[in-house]
Amino acid sequence: MRISQITETIKRGGYDTAFKALYADAGNGRKRAVALCEDFAERFGDLEDAALFSAPGRMEIIGNHTDHNGGQAVGAAIDRDILAIAAPVDGIVNIYEGEVLTEAKLDEAAEKGSSAALAAGMARRFGGGFCACTDSRIPIGKGLSSSAAFALLCGKIADSFYGNGATEMELALAAKLTENEDFGKKCGLLDQISCAFGGTVHIDFSSPIPTVSPVAYNVGDMGIFLVDTGVSHAGADSKYGQIAEDMECAAAYFGASRLGEVSTELFAEKKERMRLKLGDRVYRRALHFFDENKRVSFFCRRAALGQLPVCLYAVNGSGISSRTNLCNVHTEANEATEALKDIAAAIRIHGGGFGGSIQCYVPKEKTAQFTEKMEELFGKGCVIPANIRAAGVCKLDHE
C-alpha cells in the first residue's frame, strides 16, 4: 500500500482491531499512526509497499541476571512500544524519530554504540534497507529494553520487505548478535526474547537456543507499575559485565563455563570452599543465581494455579536477593522500598539494576497513595503503568 492509502485506512478504522490488540487506548494508537504517516509523506513522499510496525518494551518479571549464565527467567512484553511506518529502499536505512535522524549505509560499518549500528546491523541480516518514521513511548535508560525493541523493530521491518518470515526466535537471536557485534554491548537474550514473543514467557537459557514457554500470569486487580527513580542506567555496561564475569568465575571453580552447567547439589556441597577461595562477592552472586532459578520455577508453578499472592512472594524474594546478593540496587530504589513497605504487595529492581526503574505491584485501592508517595520522592510523572501486552514485535494488519 502507498502511504496515502494507509493513512486513509487508519482514518476509516481499518486498523482499529490491531490498535485494540496493542493498546489500552486504541484511539491514541490511531492518532499516533496518522501523525507518523503524515510525517513520513512529508519527508519521503507517498512511497509504495509501506506498512505499520510495532515493537514493545519489556518487563523482567523474575529472574534477575540469570540469562547470561544459562539460567531461567520470566519476561513480559508491555504496551509501551515503538510504533513505525516504513517502506523499502535500497542500500540505506533512514529513520526519523521526530526531528532526530538515524541514517546508515548497509555497506559501511556504523559507529559502535549508535542507533545506526543497530538499524544497519539488523537490516543487513534480513536483506535490505528501508526508510521509516517512528514514535517511541519506551523511556531510554530506564530498564525497559528500548535498544532491544529498536533492534527488533528494524529486523521485523527488513524481514517483512525482504525476508522469508523469520520466527520470533530468529529475530531475537539476530537482535542479540547485532547488539553484541555491531552495537558493541554485551547482553543476554532476555530482553530480545520478551520483546519478540510478547505475552508472559518462561525462558530457559541452558541451551544456545533458549526454550520459550507461555506463562498464564493473571494479576487480576493488582496494578504493575514501573517507577523511574531518575537514575539512568545508561553507561552501566561494565557493572553488568562484572556480574556475568563473577558468575563465570564461580562456574570455572567447578570446571564449567557458566553456572547453568553446575548442578545445585555440587554447588551446595562446595559453595563454602568456593567462598574462601574466590571471595564474598563472587559467592553471593553465585548464590543468587541458584536461588533465583528456584524462585523462577516456583513462580511458574504457582502462576499456572492462579496463586498470585504466592507468586508475589517469589517476586519479593527476587528483589531482596538482588539487593543483598547481586548488589545491583541503587540508593534511590532502597528509599522507595522503605517508603512502600505498607503500600505495595511486591517490589523488585527492574532489569539490570544500577539505576533505571523499580517494579511495584500495587492493589487497585492503593494506587493513588502509591503514586503520591513515589512523586514525593522522584517527581511528577515518575510512575509508569505497565500493562502486559499479548503481541510481540509485529507488522500491523488491516481489515
Cell representation of residue 66: 540469570
Number of domains in the chain: 1
pLDDT at 10 over 80: yes
Sign of the Cα pseudo-torsion (18, 6, 150, 227, in order): negative
Is 377 within 8 Å of 336 (Cβ atoms)? yes
Other beta carbons less than 10 A from residue 4's beta carbon: 14
77 has a pLDDT exceeding 70: yes
More confident residue, 237 or 350: 350
Domain extent at residue 62: 3-214+389-395
In a domain, residue 54? The reply is yes
- C-beta of residue 39 within 8 angstroms of C-beta of residue 59: no
Q: Are strands 92-97 and 129-136 parallel, antiparallel or unpaired?
A: parallel
Q: What is the pLDDT of residue 144?
A: 83
Q: Please write the tens of the pLDDT for every residue from 147-177.
A: 999 999 999 999 999 998 999 999 999 999 9
Tell me if 140 is assigned to some domain.
yes
Contacts of 342 (CB under 8 A, 6+ apart): none
Q: Is residue 163 part of a domain?
A: yes
Assigned domain for 75 exists: yes
| CB-based burial, 320-336: b 16+ in 10 Å, e otherwise | ebbbebbebbbebbeeb
- Single-letter code of the amino acid located at 284: R
C-alpha cell at 29: 494508537
Please state, in angstroms and rounded to a whole number, the distance separating the CA atoms of residues 203 and 192. Answer: 11
pTM for this entry: 0.93
Q: What is the distance, to the nearest Å, from the Cα of residue 354 to the centroid of all Cα atoms in its chain?
A: 16
User: What is the rounded distance in angstroms from the CA atom of residue 195 to the CA atom of residue 297?
Assistant: 21
H/E stretch holding 226: strand 222-228
In-domain check, residue 291: no
Average the pLDDT over 99-106 and give the result: 95
User: Is the residue at 21 inside a domain?
Assistant: yes
pLDDT given at position 46: 98
pLDDT for the residue 187: 78
Q: Looking at the predicted structure, is the pLDDT value of residue 235 above 60?
A: no
What pLDDT band is residue 232 in, cutting at 50, 70 and 90?
A: low
| Percent over 70 (pLDDT), the chain | 97
Least confident of 12-21, 330-339, 382-391: 330-339
**How large is the average pLDDT for residues 341-348?**
94
CA gap 28, 26 in Å, rounded: 5
Sign of the torsion angle spanned by Cα atoms 257, 261, 264, 266? negative
Counting DSSP H helices and E strands in the chain, the numbers are: 13, 12
- pLDDT tens per residue across span 109-154: 999 999 999 999 999 999 999 999 999 999 887 778 899 999 999 9
Is 354 a residue whose pLDDT tops 80?
A: no
Task: List, for residues 272-289, the tens digit of each pLDDT value.
Answer: 999 999 999 999 999 999
Of the listed ranges 221-230, 341-350, 351-360, 368-377, the least confidently predicted one is 351-360
Establish if 352 belongs to a structural domain: no
Q: CATH number for the domain including 111?
A: 3.30.230.10
Summary mean pLDDT of the chain:
94
Distance CA 232, CA 69 (A): 25
Strands (E), 39-116: 51-62, 72-89, 92-97, 100-105
183 domain residue, yes or no: yes
Q: Give the single-character DSSP code of 322.
A: I
In a 13 Å sphere around the CA of 100, the CA atoms on its Cβ side amount to: 7
Is 186 a residue whose pLDDT tops 80? Answer: no
Return the pLDDT at 332. Answer: 77
